[in-house]
Amino acid sequence: MHTSVDAHAAHVRSLLVFDLGSESIPLEAALGRTTARTTTSPVDLPLFRNSQMDGFAVRALDLEVSTTLPIVGEISARAAAPEPLVPGTTVRIMTGAVVPPGADAIVPVEDATVTGDFVTIARARRSGEYVRDRGSDVFVGDDLVLGGQCLAARHLAVLAATGLAEVEVVRRVRVAVITTGSEVRPPGTEVVPGQVYDANQVALVAAAHATGARVTLIRHVDDEPAQLLAVLDEAVGVADVILTSGGISKGDYEVVRELLEPRGAKVEHLAMQPGGPQATAVFEGVPVICFPGNPVSTQLSFEAFVAPILREHAGLPARREGFRTLTSKLTSVSGKRQFLRARLGENDTVEVSSGPGSHLVAGLAAADALVVVPEAVTSLAAGEMVEVWEL
């Protein structure tokens, strides 16, 4: 009897419950991190009353009497606090510079005509025109960034503008990645017939990073239980969850099942293709999520069972899911939920682009979506609607 995909997903979710706490980190390291609490402003913003334009600082009342005023000084953006403006005069002022006491409007330079030490202004001005008042953006104590926000550049900008150099964020989930198999070799090395390159390690590490986690241990072990045990002992000290690939089928030399099943691991076969063999365990208090060894099965298993949980903890947007129209007929295996590699088309269409084999890693690389076919469906005609997960 095969376990349902939904039941296994619920079980994995019950294991991956993290109490991560928080940490303060520099703004330059905070892009994409999730705030642990609402951050309030320590200052008024703008910090001081300043000019919105290059031009002339004036008293609006003076322009009701005369359109020509003497220029008695200049205020740059780097200048210290200026002297009060003498009634009946004006000063040149640059964008961002402090508006002098007594001035209540700015005349843009393009609206003024300068003749020697005098400026002629075309029309009267209203009080407050082109003046940025202190606190017109936020006041001390106003919310800047809410808790639970995934930080983008615009959030970091407002924090920096108020003088904050750090922000309190949720600690990232720490992930250990362990691939298995005596036949598996690292990319860049020589292989002989019977050996394969380790695609799962780089894929799982990248997928963990992409879902907001921090990878704290990366290892490969041969089909030796003692070797795996030593790596697991190391992993529990640095990880909140351990991901393994390979070694959970029913044959010989299945190192993960051999080591963990006697320790209470749940090893089962799901009504799913690809990715039927799955296992879960808790080792020294740390959950272990065990994927099959075929590279497509490993990647789809991560996407189906672990990625949504890591995205939630990281505050990242959920996977884009929906329904699209098939461009051609497809067939599926009765009693199994199929995850077929596909390409998105125009007008909300989708086309299956690869066979169902769990070894077809290039087919997955060429896809930008998965078509999810329910267990009870064995065929769908072109033009029918189908569930789609965007990759």
CATH code given to domain 50-132: 2.170.190.11
Distances (CA, A) of 272 to 20, 164, 373: 32, 49, 10
| Position 67 confidence tier, pLDDT thresholds 50, 70, 90 | confident
CATH code given to domain 5-20+172-314: 3.40.980.10
Integer Cα distance of 105 and 51 in angstroms? 9
| Higher pLDDT, residue 252 or 204 | 204
pLDDT on residue 64: 84
Question: Cis (ω within 30 of 0) for the bond into 274?
Answer: yes
Average pLDDT over residues 98-121: 96
pLDDT on residue 115: 96
pLDDT on residue 252: 80
Query: Per-residue DSSP letters for 185-222?
Result: E-TTS---TT-EE-HHHHHHHHHHHHTT-EEEEEEEE-
Instruction: For residue range 120-149, list pLDDT tens digits in order.
Output: 998 899 999 999 999 999 999 999 999 999
Integer Cα distance of 241 and 177 in angstroms? 9
pLDDT on residue 122: 83
Q: Are 259 and 228 in contact (CB under 8 A)?
A: yes
Integer Cα distance of 232 and 211 in angstroms? 23
131 forms beta bridges with 51
pLDDT on residue 182: 95
pLDDT on residue 325: 98
Average pLDDT over residues 80-84: 90
Distances (CA, A) of 219 to 5, 89, 103, 127, 341: 28, 75, 68, 68, 29
Integer Cα distance of 279 and 292 in angstroms? 9
Helix (H, G, I), strand (E, B) or coil at 55: strand
Instruction: For residue range 312-364, list pLDDT tens digits in order.
Output: 999 889 999 999 999 999 999 999 999 999 999 999 999 999 888 778 899 99
| Lookup: tokens for 352 | 């299956």
Average pLDDT over residues 163-177: 97
Average pLDDT over residues 168-194: 95
CA 262, distance to chain mean position in Å, is 38
The separation between the first and the last C-alpha atoms of the chain, rounded to the nearest angstrom, is 30
Average pLDDT over residues 82-89: 95
Homologous superfamily in CATH for domain 24-42+141-170: Molybdopterin biosynthesis moea protein, domain 2 (3.90.105.10)
Integer Cα distance of 227 and 181 in angstroms? 11
Integer Cα distance of 368 and 343 in angstroms? 5
Side chain identity, residue 69: L
Instruction: For residue range 211-244, list pLDDT tens digits in order.
Output: 999 999 999 999 999 999 999 999 999 999 999 9
State the burial class of residue 217 (Cβ atoms within 10 Å of its Cβ: 0-12, 13-18, 19+): middle
Instruction: For residue range 272-292, list pLDDT tens digits in order.
Output: 999 999 999 999 999 999 999
| Lookup: tokens for 221 | 């072990």
| Lookup: tokens for 73 | 């000084």
Q: If you average pLDDT over every residue of the chain, what do you get?
A: 95
| Lookup: tokens for 192 | 């002989």
Share of the chain above pLDDT 70, in %: 100
Integer Cα distance of 70 and 59 in angstroms? 13
State the burial class of residue 43 (Cβ atoms within 10 Å of its Cβ: 0-12, 13-18, 19+): middle
Instruction: For residue range 18-56, list pLDDT tens digits in order.
Output: 988 999 999 999 999 999 999 999 999 999 999 999 999
Average pLDDT over residues 182-197: 94
Average pLDDT over residues 61-79: 90
pLDDT on residue 123: 87
Side chain identity, residue 74: E
- The strand order across the sheet containing 286-291 reads 214-221, 174-180, 241-245, 286-291, 277-283, 266-269
Out of 3.40.630.30, 2.40.340.10, 3.20.20.70, 3.90.470.20, the CATH code matching 321-390 is 2.40.340.10
Residue spans of the domains in the chain: they are 5-20+172-314, 24-42+141-170, 50-132, 321-390
Other beta carbons less than 10 A from residue 358's beta carbon = 19
Integer Cα distance of 103 and 121 in angstroms? 15
